[in-house]
Amino acid sequence: MRVLGLETSCDETGVAIYDTEQGLVAEALYSQIALHAEYGGVVPELASRDHVRKLLPLIREVLAKANMQGSDLDGVAFTKGPGLAGALMVGACAGRAMAYGWGVPAIGVHHMEGHLLAPMLEADAPAFPFIALLVSGGHTQLVRVDGIGCYTLLGESLDDAAGEAFDKAAKMLELGYPGGPQVAKAAERGRVGHYTFPRPMVNRPGLDFSFSGLKTFTLNTVTASRAAGTYNPQDQADIAAAFQEAVVATLVIKCHRALEQENLKTLVIAGGVSANTVLRARLAEKLAKTGGRVYYPRPEFCTDNGAMIAYAGHCRLAAGQHEGLGVTIRPRWPMTELDAV
């Protein structure tokens, strides 16, 4: 089965083709980072318009790379939600229309299920069951995964997601957009331990997260440094390092707690923040001490991409699931509502 995957949930236009026998055949991605950078964050209307401009050229590019035509495909998968409504509509309308024109089934994919399954694209893929940490600009969740569609939410952020907190910290530090890579880069120059930031909610039972207080602590630290006249590039880097250390430590503690609670040894981490090298190193170090193992997608598949949508859609289409003729999106869509495969 050959499935075309379309990702248009936010600020990246991703297209890919996944084949049951060959695996990932071709993929292409267009990032809108430059478009939104001057605003310090994603502007939904601009994102939607850019998806309209880029989606069809990217589809043609991917079909050419795969040496295929639309008639060679067996299905179309598109991101149905969660995400920005306007952006989702671009992919959903295009995907549903092309599937109808080619006479093949279409499937709407849950964006976070795509991230969760992205490590399955690797040669060394994890086996069920496992704990998944889904950590991105819009989500921070710990999920027990017993199979495709068999998800139990263990904990989530009660306010800002980790990726959102990185973006806001970067804005406070005037580091630019997107925040995660900019904070990580600045932290490389920072002196770890020069500042000590709190690890939110780690002393409470449970697996929920909260990063709003850490954001406020960062703002207060920056404000105090400026008022004292000590704020300079080194101080900026020190604050970035302290912020990153706090987020990473919190995520590691909660992941370890989830594995112990569920009596599992395998952890999957996916989403944009999973590309953070410090987080990867700390999780690998922590799990090695307990005989566990952590799996990631390759760096280019940590952020939004078409490959993860093509794969997730392929799994559901192969199981006989498909959309009706109407076009529906779910800007808010709990992953626990998904049907099992």
What is the tally of structural domains in the chain? 2
Note whether 145 and 50 are same-domain residues.
no
Q: Is 304 annotated as a binding residue?
A: yes
Q: 13 in a domain, yes or no? A: yes
Task: List per-block mean pLDDT (blocks of 10 residues) for the chain, which spans 341 residues.
Answer: 98 98 98 92 96 98 98 98 97 98 98 97 96 93 97 96 94 92 96 95 95 96 97 97 97 97 97 94 95 94 97 98 95 95 94
Note whether 305 and 288 are same-domain residues.
no
Note whether 170 and 272 are same-domain residues.
yes
Q: Is 111 annotated as a binding residue?
A: yes
Q: 280 in a domain, yes or no? A: yes
Owning domain of residue 136: 128-296
The CATH number of residue 111's host domain is 3.30.420.40
Note whether 289 and 305 are same-domain residues.
no
Name every residue whose Cβ is closer than 8 Å to that of residue 275 and which is 6 or more positions away in sequence: 180, 181, 299, 302, 303
Supply the pLDDT for residue 334: 94
Q: 211 in a domain, yes or no? A: yes
Quote the CA–CA distance of 220 and 218 in Å, as a whole number.
5
Supply the pLDDT for residue 137: 84
Q: Is 114 annotated as a binding residue?
A: no
Q: 291 in a domain, yes or no? A: yes
Q: 122 in a domain, yes or no? A: no
Note whether 180 and 307 are same-domain residues.
no
pTM: 0.95
Note whether 15 and 94 are same-domain residues.
yes
Q: Is 183 annotated as a binding residue?
A: no
Supply the pLDDT for residue 177: 86
Note whether 172 and 82 are same-domain residues.
no
Q: Is 322 annotated as a binding residue?
A: no
Supply the pLDDT for residue 228: 97
Q: Is 167 annotated as a binding residue?
A: yes
Q: Is 5 annotated as a binding residue?
A: no
Q: Is 36 annotated as a binding residue?
A: no
> CA-based angle 278:279:282, to the nearest 5?
85
Note whether 140 and 181 are same-domain residues.
yes
Q: 123 in a domain, yes or no? A: no
Note whether 160 and 108 are same-domain residues.
no
Evaluated on CA atoms 98, 101, 102, 103, the torsion sign reads: positive
The residues with which 131 forms a beta bridge, in sequence order, are 144, 267
**Strand ordering across the sheet containing 106-110:** 23-31, 12-19, 2-7, 75-81, 106-110
Q: Is 134 annotated as a binding residue?
A: yes
Distances (CA, A) of 328 to 89, 177, 191, 214, 294: 8, 31, 49, 37, 35
Supply the pLDDT for residue 40: 85
Supply the pLDDT for residue 331: 97
Note whether 62 and 14 are same-domain residues.
yes
Supply the pLDDT for residue 272: 92
Q: 221 in a domain, yes or no? A: yes
Note whether 146 and 66 are same-domain residues.
no
Note whether 70 and 153 are same-domain residues.
no
Q: 273 in a domain, yes or no? A: yes
